[in-house]
Structure 1
Amino acid sequence: MSKQPAKDSRYERAQSGFTLLELIVVMVIMSVVMAVLLPRLSGQLMGNSLQAAVSDLSSIATSARFRAADTGKEHVLVISRKTGDLKLLSGNRSKVLSSTQLPEKVAVGNMELLGKTVSGPEMQIVFYPRGTASPARLKLVSEKRESMHVFVAGANGGVYVR
């Protein structure tokens, strides 16, 4: 019969977890890393909100173009400078088919419709069944003064971003 050496219970207890000092050191390191990375990440998120706003606007305008061609009726895209609302209305403008809002940190800048500056609170772009649209130009501006332009071509109803 072989004898096994007795285990020291103090040794097992000491090896079963982390010390308070080790946990504090890890928390300090994580805090420093977050303090360095957070401002950079928030800057990237700002650019993403502008990109998301342009994407939303483009997709609703494209949807209006295709719905007009599909149904044979005009569809209207309403853009509100005040509230940042984007609404797609049916041909008779009685029904809201789609609605979304621009991100809080993105504002509507210059608006032009049919080559004239729109000074009012909203702009209505009409998409016709034959694939054309009211020519329009719109500028979206982020909180950091970054901007992107969205164009709706009158001849083919296409939506272009610059």
Structure 2
Amino acid sequence: MDFQPHNNLKHEPVQNGFTLLELIVVMVIMSIVMAVLLPRLGDQLLSNSLRAAVSDLGAIATSARFRAADTGKQHIVVINQETRNLKLLSGDKGKILTLTSLPERVAVEDMELRGKSVSGHEMRIIFYPRGTASPARFKLVSEKKESLNLIVAGADGGVYVR
């Protein structure tokens, strides 16, 4: 038997990886997709900041309401317009129980306490042991002027969003 190499087996170099043209095409497609999606994601993040602020305020107010009923002592929620801080204070000693800040893109406006406009930069909402609170109303506003009104009902101490 005569062994002869086959001439139809050619050793061509194996191509590993991508060509420069393929990489450029993929980058152009990704750039177009990102240009379309990023503005929408930015709006969604801003809306999420407003929702997070409402959630934080609701949690602090609910905590104040339940702590007041549990301990038999009033608790106070302090909202500061300038620093955008939210505090929960125990009423008897004024000890800070919770301290948090609103997201950077959210501001507090139009604060009213017991039906009157708050003149300073700080509003104190008192939650009483019997489940009531000092009635308050204020607005949270995002950079894009989206806003939510929050109402603390005096009769039941509940926090409502409008």
Please list, as runs of the form range in 1=range in 2, the aligned pairs for 1:127-142 lying within 5 A after superposition: 127-142=127-142
Q: Which residue of 1 aligns with 2:54?
A: 54
Give the Å deviation of 1:96.
Answer: 0.9
Partners of 1:76 and 1:93 within 8 A in 2: no
Q: In 2, Cα distance between the equivalents of 1:155 and 1:7?
A: 90
RMSD: 1.8
Q: In 1, Cα distance between the equivalents of 2:10 and 2:51?
A: 63
Q: In 2, Cα distance between the equivalents of 1:30 and 1:92?
A: 59
Give the Å deviation of 1:51.
Answer: 1.1
Q: Which residue of 2 aligns with 1:8?
A: 11
Partners of 1:114 and 1:134 within 8 A in 2: yes
Deviations 1:42-95 (A, max 9, x none): 011111111111111111101100011111111000000101100001122431
Please list, as runs of the form range in 1=range in 2, the aligned pairs for 1:117-136 lying within 5 A after superposition: 117-136=117-136
Q: In 1, Cα distance between the equivalents of 2:134 and 2:89?
A: 15
Please list, as runs of the form range in 1=range in 2, the aligned pairs for 1:1-150 lying within 5 A after superposition: 6=9, 8-10=11-13, 12=14, 14=15, 16-150=16-150
Q: Secondary structure at the match of 2:131?
A: coil
Structure 1 residues 76 and 9: alpha-carbon distance in aligned structure 2, compared to 1, 3 A threshold: same
Q: Which has the larger radius of gyration?
A: 2
Report the AA paired with residue 46 of structure 1. L
Structure 1 residues 93 and 35: alpha-carbon distance in aligned structure 2, compared to 1, 3 A threshold: farther
Report the AA paired with residue 8 of structure 1. H
> TM-score under structure 1 normalisation?
0.91
Q: Which moved more, 1:78-87 or 1:21-30?
A: 21-30
Report the AA paired with residue 96 of structure 1. I
Listed as ranges, the gaps of 5+ residues in structure 1 are none
Structure 1 residues 147 and 89: alpha-carbon distance in aligned structure 2, compared to 1, 3 A threshold: same
Listed as ranges, the gaps of 5+ residues in structure 2 are none
Matched pairs, number? 159
> TM-score under structure 2 normalisation?
0.91
Q: Secondary structure at the match of 1:27?
A: helix
Report the AA paired with residue 52 of structure 1. A
Q: Which residue of 1 aligns with 2:160?
A: 160
